[in-house]
Amino acid sequence: MYLGLDLGTSGLRGILVNDEWKVVAEAEAGIETSTPKPGWSEQAPEDWIEACKQVIASLRALDASALSAVRGIGLSGHMHGATLLDAEGKVLRPCILWNDTRSAQEAAELDQEPEMRTITGNIVFPGFTAPKLDWVRNHEPGVFAKTAKVLLPKDYLRFWLTGDYISEMSDSAGTSWLDVGQRVWSETALDLSHMSVDQMPRLVEGSAPGGELRTGLLQEWGLSGPVVVAGGAGDNAAAACGIGSIDEGSGFVSLGTSGVLLVAKNSYAPDPETAVHCFCHAVPERWIQMGVILSATNSMNWLSRNLGQSVGSLAVALPETLTGPSSITFLPYLSGERTPHNNSDIRGAFLGIDVSAGPVDLTQSVMDGVAFAMRDCLEALKSTGTEPDRLLAVGGGVRSRFWLETLATVLKVPLALPDGSEFGAAIGAARLAACAVSGANPGEVMVPPQTSDVIDPRVDLFDAYESKYQLYSQSYKALAPLAAR
Protein backbone atom coordinates (compact mmCIF):
# COMPACT_ATOMS: atom_id res chain seq x y z
CA MET A 1 0.00 0.00 0.00
CA TYR A 2 1.04 3.59 -0.64
CA LEU A 3 -0.16 6.74 1.10
CA GLY A 4 -0.46 10.01 -0.81
CA LEU A 5 -0.76 13.15 1.30
CA ASP A 6 -1.72 16.37 -0.51
CA LEU A 7 -1.43 19.54 1.57
CA GLY A 8 -3.81 21.94 -0.17
CA THR A 9 -4.61 25.53 0.69
CA SER A 10 -7.96 24.61 2.23
CA GLY A 11 -7.13 21.22 3.67
CA LEU A 12 -5.06 18.04 3.76
CA ARG A 13 -6.19 15.04 1.73
CA GLY A 14 -4.88 11.52 2.23
CA ILE A 15 -5.50 8.50 0.02
CA LEU A 16 -4.45 4.88 0.44
CA VAL A 17 -3.84 3.05 -2.83
CA ASN A 18 -2.67 -0.43 -3.68
CA ASP A 19 -0.13 -1.35 -6.34
CA GLU A 20 -2.87 -1.40 -8.99
CA TRP A 21 -3.71 2.23 -8.11
CA LYS A 22 -7.10 1.39 -6.72
CA VAL A 23 -8.09 3.82 -3.98
CA VAL A 24 -8.79 1.77 -0.86
CA ALA A 25 -9.56 4.62 1.55
CA GLU A 26 -9.45 8.40 1.60
CA ALA A 27 -9.93 11.17 4.14
CA GLU A 28 -9.69 14.94 4.41
CA ALA A 29 -9.24 17.54 7.13
CA GLY A 30 -9.78 21.28 6.73
CA ILE A 31 -7.17 23.98 7.35
CA GLU A 32 -7.92 27.63 8.07
CA THR A 33 -6.15 30.51 6.32
CA SER A 34 -5.63 33.84 8.07
CA THR A 35 -5.70 37.19 6.26
CA PRO A 36 -4.60 39.66 8.96
CA LYS A 37 -4.13 42.48 6.43
CA PRO A 38 -5.21 43.09 2.81
CA GLY A 39 -2.98 41.06 0.50
CA TRP A 40 -1.71 38.86 3.35
CA SER A 41 -2.33 35.10 3.50
CA GLU A 42 -0.94 32.92 6.29
CA GLN A 43 -1.36 29.51 7.89
CA ALA A 44 -0.14 28.01 11.14
CA PRO A 45 2.17 25.04 10.41
CA GLU A 46 0.89 23.27 13.53
CA ASP A 47 -2.52 23.15 11.80
CA TRP A 48 -0.95 21.04 9.03
CA ILE A 49 0.26 18.57 11.63
CA GLU A 50 -3.13 18.44 13.33
CA ALA A 51 -4.80 17.89 9.95
CA CYS A 52 -2.39 15.04 9.21
CA LYS A 53 -3.19 13.41 12.56
CA GLN A 54 -6.91 13.69 11.77
CA VAL A 55 -6.47 12.20 8.29
CA ILE A 56 -4.43 9.26 9.57
CA ALA A 57 -6.97 8.60 12.33
CA SER A 58 -9.77 8.61 9.77
CA LEU A 59 -7.89 6.27 7.42
CA ARG A 60 -7.14 3.92 10.29
CA ALA A 61 -10.83 3.89 11.25
CA LEU A 62 -11.81 3.18 7.64
CA ASP A 63 -9.28 0.39 6.97
CA ALA A 64 -6.66 -0.32 9.63
CA SER A 65 -5.26 -3.32 7.75
CA ALA A 66 -4.66 -1.24 4.62
CA LEU A 67 -2.93 1.49 6.61
CA SER A 68 -0.73 -1.10 8.34
CA ALA A 69 0.46 -2.30 4.92
CA VAL A 70 1.83 1.11 3.87
CA ARG A 71 5.43 0.94 2.65
CA GLY A 72 5.76 4.38 1.11
CA ILE A 73 4.39 7.89 1.65
CA GLY A 74 4.35 10.57 -1.02
CA LEU A 75 3.94 14.26 -0.23
CA SER A 76 2.41 17.02 -2.33
CA GLY A 77 1.72 20.57 -1.28
CA HIS A 78 0.93 24.14 -2.21
CA MET A 79 4.12 25.81 -3.38
CA HIS A 80 6.16 28.88 -2.43
CA GLY A 81 5.17 29.06 1.26
CA ALA A 82 7.83 30.33 3.67
CA THR A 83 7.98 28.24 6.85
CA LEU A 84 10.70 29.68 9.09
CA LEU A 85 12.39 27.55 11.76
CA ASP A 86 14.96 28.37 14.41
CA ALA A 87 18.05 26.31 15.21
CA GLU A 88 15.96 23.91 17.29
CA GLY A 89 13.39 23.35 14.55
CA LYS A 90 10.71 25.51 16.16
CA VAL A 91 8.39 27.59 13.99
CA LEU A 92 9.16 31.31 14.25
CA ARG A 93 6.03 32.82 12.67
CA PRO A 94 2.99 31.77 10.60
CA CYS A 95 3.80 30.48 7.13
CA ILE A 96 3.44 33.13 4.40
CA LEU A 97 1.49 31.46 1.58
CA TRP A 98 1.69 31.38 -2.22
CA ASN A 99 -1.13 33.89 -2.69
CA ASP A 100 0.31 36.48 -0.30
CA THR A 101 1.33 39.68 -2.11
CA ARG A 102 2.98 41.71 0.68
CA SER A 103 6.47 41.24 -0.79
CA ALA A 104 5.74 42.90 -4.16
CA GLN A 105 8.43 45.56 -3.62
CA GLU A 106 11.03 43.02 -2.54
CA ALA A 107 10.16 40.82 -5.52
CA ALA A 108 10.56 43.74 -7.93
CA GLU A 109 13.94 44.63 -6.44
CA LEU A 110 15.21 41.04 -6.64
CA ASP A 111 13.89 40.71 -10.19
CA GLN A 112 16.01 43.72 -11.19
CA GLU A 113 19.11 41.66 -10.44
CA PRO A 114 19.94 40.32 -13.92
CA GLU A 115 21.38 37.07 -12.57
CA MET A 116 18.11 36.04 -10.92
CA ARG A 117 16.18 35.30 -14.11
CA THR A 118 19.25 33.72 -15.70
CA ILE A 119 19.73 31.34 -12.78
CA THR A 120 16.13 30.50 -11.92
CA GLY A 121 14.55 30.71 -15.39
CA ASN A 122 11.66 32.71 -13.95
CA ILE A 123 10.50 36.15 -12.97
CA VAL A 124 10.81 36.70 -9.23
CA PHE A 125 7.09 36.78 -8.48
CA PRO A 126 5.76 38.28 -5.21
CA GLY A 127 4.30 34.89 -4.34
CA PHE A 128 7.66 33.11 -4.54
CA THR A 129 9.65 32.29 -1.41
CA ALA A 130 12.77 34.45 -1.76
CA PRO A 131 11.01 37.85 -1.67
CA LYS A 132 9.02 36.71 1.37
CA LEU A 133 12.28 36.24 3.29
CA ASP A 134 13.45 39.64 2.14
CA TRP A 135 10.18 41.10 3.47
CA VAL A 136 10.81 39.39 6.81
CA ARG A 137 14.34 40.81 6.82
CA ASN A 138 12.97 44.31 6.25
CA HIS A 139 9.95 44.17 8.56
CA GLU A 140 10.67 41.46 11.15
CA PRO A 141 14.47 41.60 11.59
CA GLY A 142 14.36 39.71 14.88
CA VAL A 143 12.63 36.76 13.21
CA PHE A 144 14.99 36.90 10.24
CA ALA A 145 18.03 36.79 12.53
CA LYS A 146 16.76 33.59 14.19
CA THR A 147 15.90 31.80 10.92
CA ALA A 148 18.06 28.69 10.68
CA LYS A 149 16.00 26.77 8.10
CA VAL A 150 13.32 27.66 5.53
CA LEU A 151 10.97 24.86 4.50
CA LEU A 152 8.17 24.70 1.97
CA PRO A 153 4.81 23.61 3.42
CA LYS A 154 4.92 19.94 2.45
CA ASP A 155 8.54 19.76 3.60
CA TYR A 156 7.61 20.99 7.06
CA LEU A 157 5.12 18.13 7.13
CA ARG A 158 8.01 15.84 6.11
CA PHE A 159 10.11 17.28 8.95
CA TRP A 160 7.40 16.22 11.40
CA LEU A 161 7.11 12.79 9.75
CA THR A 162 10.82 12.04 9.51
CA GLY A 163 12.86 14.56 11.49
CA ASP A 164 14.83 15.41 8.31
CA TYR A 165 15.28 18.71 6.47
CA ILE A 166 14.71 17.56 2.88
CA SER A 167 13.04 19.02 -0.21
CA GLU A 168 12.88 18.12 -3.90
CA MET A 169 13.30 19.82 -7.24
CA SER A 170 9.79 20.72 -8.40
CA ASP A 171 8.75 22.57 -5.23
CA SER A 172 12.16 24.14 -4.71
CA ALA A 173 12.09 25.54 -8.26
CA GLY A 174 9.42 27.97 -7.04
CA THR A 175 11.60 29.57 -4.38
CA SER A 176 13.80 31.74 -6.67
CA TRP A 177 16.82 30.08 -5.00
CA LEU A 178 17.19 27.02 -7.25
CA ASP A 179 19.31 26.80 -10.38
CA VAL A 180 16.45 25.19 -12.29
CA GLY A 181 18.59 24.01 -15.20
CA GLN A 182 21.22 22.37 -12.98
CA ARG A 183 18.76 21.27 -10.24
CA VAL A 184 20.91 22.57 -7.35
CA TRP A 185 20.67 25.45 -4.87
CA SER A 186 22.27 28.56 -6.32
CA GLU A 187 24.69 30.24 -3.94
CA THR A 188 24.45 33.39 -6.07
CA ALA A 189 20.64 33.60 -5.93
CA LEU A 190 20.70 32.91 -2.19
CA ASP A 191 23.37 35.55 -1.60
CA LEU A 192 21.40 38.15 -3.57
CA SER A 193 18.47 37.59 -1.20
CA HIS A 194 20.66 37.59 1.93
CA MET A 195 20.33 33.84 2.49
CA SER A 196 22.78 30.90 2.55
CA VAL A 197 22.86 27.25 1.51
CA ASP A 198 23.03 26.25 5.19
CA GLN A 199 19.46 27.53 5.60
CA MET A 200 18.18 25.26 2.82
CA PRO A 201 17.06 21.61 3.11
CA ARG A 202 18.90 18.81 1.34
CA LEU A 203 17.62 18.18 -2.19
CA VAL A 204 16.45 14.88 -3.73
CA GLU A 205 14.44 14.01 -6.82
CA GLY A 206 10.71 13.69 -6.23
CA SER A 207 10.69 9.98 -7.12
CA ALA A 208 13.65 9.22 -4.84
CA PRO A 209 13.61 8.44 -1.09
CA GLY A 210 13.38 11.58 1.05
CA GLY A 211 13.51 10.23 4.59
CA GLU A 212 11.87 7.45 6.61
CA LEU A 213 8.87 7.63 8.89
CA ARG A 214 10.14 8.00 12.45
CA THR A 215 9.76 5.20 14.95
CA GLY A 216 7.23 6.98 17.17
CA LEU A 217 4.79 7.41 14.28
CA LEU A 218 5.31 3.84 13.08
CA GLN A 219 4.17 2.63 16.48
CA GLU A 220 1.37 5.17 16.80
CA TRP A 221 -0.08 4.36 13.38
CA GLY A 222 0.35 0.61 13.74
CA LEU A 223 2.89 0.16 10.96
CA SER A 224 5.62 -2.47 10.93
CA GLY A 225 7.99 -0.35 8.84
CA PRO A 226 10.27 0.72 7.46
CA VAL A 227 8.20 3.29 5.56
CA VAL A 228 9.95 5.41 2.94
CA VAL A 229 8.86 9.02 2.51
CA ALA A 230 9.41 10.01 -1.13
CA GLY A 231 10.79 13.36 -2.21
CA GLY A 232 7.30 14.19 -3.47
CA ALA A 233 6.33 17.27 -5.46
CA GLY A 234 4.78 20.67 -5.57
CA ASP A 235 1.04 20.38 -6.17
CA ASN A 236 1.05 20.94 -9.93
CA ALA A 237 3.99 18.63 -10.63
CA ALA A 238 2.29 16.01 -8.44
CA ALA A 239 -0.94 16.42 -10.42
CA ALA A 240 1.08 15.95 -13.61
CA CYS A 241 2.48 12.70 -12.19
CA GLY A 242 -1.05 11.65 -11.25
CA ILE A 243 -2.28 11.91 -14.84
CA GLY A 244 0.90 10.70 -16.51
CA SER A 245 2.09 14.05 -17.88
CA ILE A 246 5.83 13.52 -17.73
CA ASP A 247 6.81 13.34 -21.41
CA GLU A 248 7.27 16.17 -23.91
CA GLY A 249 4.02 17.87 -24.92
CA SER A 250 1.66 16.09 -22.55
CA GLY A 251 -0.25 18.40 -20.26
CA PHE A 252 -3.40 19.47 -18.48
CA VAL A 253 -5.53 22.44 -17.59
CA SER A 254 -6.64 22.63 -13.98
CA LEU A 255 -9.64 24.55 -12.71
CA GLY A 256 -8.80 24.56 -9.03
CA THR A 257 -8.51 27.39 -6.51
CA SER A 258 -5.95 28.78 -8.90
CA GLY A 259 -5.91 27.94 -12.60
CA VAL A 260 -3.00 26.12 -14.22
CA LEU A 261 -2.12 25.24 -17.78
CA LEU A 262 0.84 22.83 -17.60
CA VAL A 263 2.87 21.09 -20.28
CA ALA A 264 5.74 18.66 -19.65
CA LYS A 265 9.11 19.20 -21.30
CA ASN A 266 12.06 16.87 -21.92
CA SER A 267 14.48 19.79 -21.74
CA TYR A 268 14.92 23.01 -19.82
CA ALA A 269 13.14 25.77 -21.78
CA PRO A 270 12.88 29.00 -19.77
CA ASP A 271 11.37 32.23 -21.11
CA PRO A 272 10.80 34.42 -18.05
CA GLU A 273 9.73 37.51 -20.01
CA THR A 274 6.46 35.74 -20.86
CA ALA A 275 5.69 35.17 -17.13
CA VAL A 276 5.46 31.45 -17.96
CA HIS A 277 6.75 29.39 -15.03
CA CYS A 278 9.54 27.00 -15.94
CA PHE A 279 10.15 24.53 -13.09
CA CYS A 280 11.79 21.17 -12.58
CA HIS A 281 9.42 18.24 -12.86
CA ALA A 282 9.14 15.79 -9.96
CA VAL A 283 10.98 13.11 -11.95
CA PRO A 284 14.62 13.25 -13.12
CA GLU A 285 15.59 14.95 -16.38
CA ARG A 286 12.16 16.46 -16.93
CA TRP A 287 10.84 20.01 -16.58
CA ILE A 288 7.46 21.69 -16.79
CA GLN A 289 6.19 24.91 -18.29
CA MET A 290 3.01 26.39 -16.91
CA GLY A 291 0.89 29.47 -16.93
CA VAL A 292 -0.82 30.25 -13.64
CA ILE A 293 -3.78 32.46 -12.76
CA LEU A 294 -4.49 33.14 -9.10
CA SER A 295 -8.30 32.90 -9.04
CA ALA A 296 -10.07 30.17 -10.99
CA THR A 297 -12.67 28.30 -8.91
CA ASN A 298 -11.82 30.86 -6.26
CA SER A 299 -13.67 33.37 -8.46
CA MET A 300 -16.76 31.16 -8.30
CA ASN A 301 -16.33 30.77 -4.54
CA TRP A 302 -16.20 34.56 -4.22
CA LEU A 303 -19.36 34.97 -6.32
CA SER A 304 -21.12 32.25 -4.32
CA ARG A 305 -20.27 33.92 -1.03
CA ASN A 306 -21.56 37.31 -2.16
CA LEU A 307 -24.73 36.06 -3.83
CA GLY A 308 -25.57 33.75 -0.95
CA GLN A 309 -25.98 30.74 -3.25
CA SER A 310 -23.86 27.60 -3.45
CA VAL A 311 -21.46 27.19 -6.36
CA GLY A 312 -23.42 24.11 -7.40
CA SER A 313 -26.74 25.95 -7.56
CA LEU A 314 -25.17 28.79 -9.56
CA ALA A 315 -23.65 26.31 -12.02
CA VAL A 316 -26.78 24.24 -12.62
CA ALA A 317 -28.80 27.37 -13.40
CA LEU A 318 -26.72 27.91 -16.55
CA PRO A 319 -27.94 26.72 -19.96
CA GLU A 320 -27.11 23.15 -20.97
CA THR A 321 -24.88 24.34 -23.80
CA LEU A 322 -23.18 27.49 -25.08
CA THR A 323 -24.93 30.07 -27.19
CA GLY A 324 -22.17 32.68 -27.04
CA PRO A 325 -20.17 34.74 -24.55
CA SER A 326 -21.73 36.81 -21.81
CA SER A 327 -22.31 40.49 -22.51
CA ILE A 328 -20.62 41.22 -19.15
CA THR A 329 -16.83 41.17 -18.95
CA PHE A 330 -15.34 39.77 -15.74
CA LEU A 331 -11.67 40.27 -14.92
CA PRO A 332 -10.75 37.54 -12.39
CA TYR A 333 -7.89 39.40 -10.70
CA LEU A 334 -9.23 39.04 -7.16
CA SER A 335 -5.73 38.53 -5.72
CA GLY A 336 -3.60 40.08 -8.47
CA GLU A 337 -2.31 38.02 -11.38
CA ARG A 338 0.72 36.03 -12.47
CA THR A 339 0.72 34.86 -16.09
CA PRO A 340 1.09 36.87 -18.23
CA HIS A 341 0.88 40.15 -16.31
CA ASN A 342 2.95 39.65 -13.13
CA ASN A 343 0.82 42.31 -11.44
CA SER A 344 0.16 42.02 -7.72
CA ASP A 345 -1.74 45.34 -7.66
CA ILE A 346 -4.40 44.61 -10.27
CA ARG A 347 -7.83 43.72 -8.92
CA GLY A 348 -10.98 42.20 -10.39
CA ALA A 349 -13.88 43.97 -12.09
CA PHE A 350 -17.23 43.50 -13.78
CA LEU A 351 -17.64 45.65 -16.89
CA GLY A 352 -20.84 46.18 -18.86
CA ILE A 353 -23.33 45.22 -16.16
CA ASP A 354 -26.93 46.03 -17.11
CA VAL A 355 -29.81 46.67 -14.70
CA SER A 356 -31.39 43.42 -15.93
CA ALA A 357 -28.35 41.30 -15.01
CA GLY A 358 -28.97 38.52 -12.51
CA PRO A 359 -27.08 35.59 -10.95
CA VAL A 360 -27.05 33.56 -14.18
CA ASP A 361 -25.49 36.44 -16.10
CA LEU A 362 -22.85 37.01 -13.42
CA THR A 363 -22.06 33.29 -13.23
CA GLN A 364 -21.49 32.99 -16.96
CA SER A 365 -19.35 36.12 -17.00
CA VAL A 366 -17.17 34.70 -14.22
CA MET A 367 -16.71 31.44 -16.10
CA ASP A 368 -15.96 33.36 -19.30
CA GLY A 369 -13.44 35.58 -17.52
CA VAL A 370 -11.54 32.65 -16.04
CA ALA A 371 -11.49 30.98 -19.47
CA PHE A 372 -10.06 34.15 -21.02
CA ALA A 373 -7.40 34.31 -18.31
CA MET A 374 -6.46 30.70 -19.15
CA ARG A 375 -6.28 31.75 -22.81
CA ASP A 376 -3.74 34.38 -21.74
CA CYS A 377 -1.69 31.52 -20.26
CA LEU A 378 -1.95 29.51 -23.48
CA GLU A 379 -0.85 32.48 -25.57
CA ALA A 380 2.16 32.92 -23.27
CA LEU A 381 3.11 29.24 -23.69
CA LYS A 382 2.69 29.53 -27.46
CA SER A 383 5.17 32.40 -27.50
CA THR A 384 7.79 29.98 -26.13
CA GLY A 385 7.07 27.44 -28.87
CA THR A 386 4.83 25.21 -26.73
CA GLU A 387 1.48 24.56 -28.41
CA PRO A 388 -0.51 21.57 -27.10
CA ASP A 389 -3.05 19.96 -29.42
CA ARG A 390 -5.03 18.37 -26.58
CA LEU A 391 -5.16 18.78 -22.80
CA LEU A 392 -6.55 16.75 -19.93
CA ALA A 393 -8.99 18.70 -17.76
CA VAL A 394 -8.83 18.33 -13.97
CA GLY A 395 -9.88 20.20 -10.84
CA GLY A 396 -13.18 21.05 -9.19
CA GLY A 397 -14.31 23.25 -12.08
CA VAL A 398 -14.57 20.28 -14.47
CA ARG A 399 -17.87 19.32 -12.81
CA SER A 400 -19.46 22.04 -14.95
CA ARG A 401 -19.95 20.90 -18.53
CA PHE A 402 -20.83 24.47 -19.48
CA TRP A 403 -17.51 25.75 -18.12
CA LEU A 404 -15.55 23.00 -19.89
CA GLU A 405 -17.23 23.77 -23.22
CA THR A 406 -16.49 27.46 -22.69
CA LEU A 407 -12.86 26.73 -21.90
CA ALA A 408 -12.37 24.38 -24.86
CA THR A 409 -13.89 26.97 -27.20
CA VAL A 410 -11.84 29.87 -25.84
CA LEU A 411 -8.59 27.83 -25.94
CA LYS A 412 -9.53 26.20 -29.28
CA VAL A 413 -8.16 22.95 -27.85
CA PRO A 414 -10.06 19.70 -27.13
CA LEU A 415 -10.26 18.86 -23.42
CA ALA A 416 -10.17 15.20 -22.38
CA LEU A 417 -11.73 14.02 -19.12
CA PRO A 418 -9.87 11.26 -17.28
CA ASP A 419 -11.86 8.07 -16.73
CA GLY A 420 -12.42 8.20 -12.98
CA SER A 421 -11.81 10.90 -10.42
CA GLU A 422 -8.48 9.95 -8.84
CA PHE A 423 -5.97 11.82 -10.94
CA GLY A 424 -5.01 14.71 -8.70
CA ALA A 425 -1.97 15.59 -6.65
CA ALA A 426 -2.61 12.93 -3.98
CA ILE A 427 -2.46 10.06 -6.49
CA GLY A 428 0.64 11.62 -8.02
CA ALA A 429 2.24 11.71 -4.59
CA ALA A 430 1.37 8.04 -4.08
CA ARG A 431 2.95 7.16 -7.43
CA LEU A 432 6.12 8.98 -6.42
CA ALA A 433 6.10 6.93 -3.21
CA ALA A 434 5.91 3.71 -5.24
CA CYS A 435 8.94 4.79 -7.27
CA ALA A 436 10.87 5.68 -4.11
CA VAL A 437 10.12 2.29 -2.53
CA SER A 438 10.75 0.08 -5.57
CA GLY A 439 13.18 2.12 -7.65
CA ALA A 440 10.83 1.72 -10.61
CA ASN A 441 11.23 3.88 -13.70
CA PRO A 442 8.72 6.76 -13.35
CA GLY A 443 7.69 6.27 -16.98
CA GLU A 444 6.40 2.80 -16.11
CA VAL A 445 4.40 4.03 -13.11
CA MET A 446 3.05 7.39 -14.29
CA VAL A 447 1.03 6.31 -17.29
CA PRO A 448 -1.80 8.47 -18.68
CA PRO A 449 -5.34 7.44 -17.76
CA GLN A 450 -8.05 6.30 -20.11
CA THR A 451 -10.38 9.15 -20.99
CA SER A 452 -14.14 9.01 -20.48
CA ASP A 453 -15.06 11.95 -22.69
CA VAL A 454 -13.59 14.65 -24.90
CA ILE A 455 -15.04 18.17 -24.93
CA ASP A 456 -14.50 19.60 -28.40
CA PRO A 457 -14.38 23.35 -29.06
CA ARG A 458 -17.49 24.89 -30.57
CA VAL A 459 -16.13 25.94 -33.95
CA ASP A 460 -19.37 27.80 -34.74
CA LEU A 461 -18.69 30.12 -31.78
CA PHE A 462 -14.97 30.77 -32.38
CA ASP A 463 -15.51 34.25 -33.84
CA ALA A 464 -17.83 35.36 -31.03
CA TYR A 465 -15.50 34.21 -28.28
CA GLU A 466 -12.44 35.54 -30.10
CA SER A 467 -14.00 39.01 -30.29
CA LYS A 468 -14.88 38.88 -26.60
CA TYR A 469 -11.35 37.72 -25.72
CA GLN A 470 -9.91 40.74 -27.52
CA LEU A 471 -12.26 43.00 -25.54
CA TYR A 472 -11.16 41.22 -22.35
CA SER A 473 -7.51 41.89 -23.21
CA GLN A 474 -8.21 45.57 -23.85
CA SER A 475 -10.08 45.80 -20.54
CA TYR A 476 -6.99 44.69 -18.62
CA LYS A 477 -4.90 47.36 -20.34
CA ALA A 478 -7.47 50.00 -19.44
CA LEU A 479 -7.85 48.86 -15.84
CA ALA A 480 -4.20 48.28 -14.94
CA PRO A 481 -3.20 51.99 -14.64
CA LEU A 482 -6.23 52.64 -12.41
CA ALA A 483 -5.27 49.80 -10.07
CA ALA A 484 -1.70 50.98 -9.51
CA ARG A 485 -0.99 51.74 -5.85
Average pLDDT over residues 229-236: 96
pLDDT in tens, 133-173: 999 999 999 999 999 999 999 999 999 999 999 999 999 99
Is the Cα dihedral 367, 368, 369, 371 positive or negative? positive
What are the distances in angstroms from CA 298 to CA 8, 24, 258, 449? 13, 30, 7, 27
pLDDT at 335 over 90: no
pLDDT mean across residues, the chain: 95
Active site residues: 235
d(CA 246, CA 206): 12
Q: Give the pLDDT score at 376.
A: 97
Say if residues 263 and 288 touch (Cβ distance below 8 Å).
Answer: yes
Beta strands in 325-464 (DSSP E): 329-331, 349-351, 391-394, 415-418, 451-455
pLDDT in tens, 181-212: 999 999 999 999 999 999 999 999 999 999 99
pLDDT at 40 over 60: yes
Q: Give the pLDDT score at 422.
A: 56
Between 344 and 191, residue with greater pLDDT: 191
**DSSP calls for 195-243:** --GGGSPEEE-TTSEEEE--HHHHHHHT--S--EEE--EEHHHHHHHHT
Mark residue 352 as left, alpha or beta (left: phi above 0; alpha: psi -120 to 50; beta: remaining). left
Q: Give the pLDDT score at 444.
A: 92
Amino acid present at 411: L
Report the DSSP beta bridge partners of residue 75. Answer: 5
Percent of the chain's residues with pLDDT above 70 = 99
Q: Give the pLDDT score at 256.
A: 86
Give the pLDDT band of residue 409 (cuts 50, 70, 90): very high
Report the DSSP beta bridge partners of residue 28. Answer: 13
Q: Cα 317 to chain center, whole Å?
A: 29
Say if residues 235 and 6 touch (Cβ distance below 8 Å).
Answer: yes
Give the pLDDT band of residue 420 (cuts 50, 70, 90): low
Give the pLDDT band of residue 345 (cuts 50, 70, 90): confident
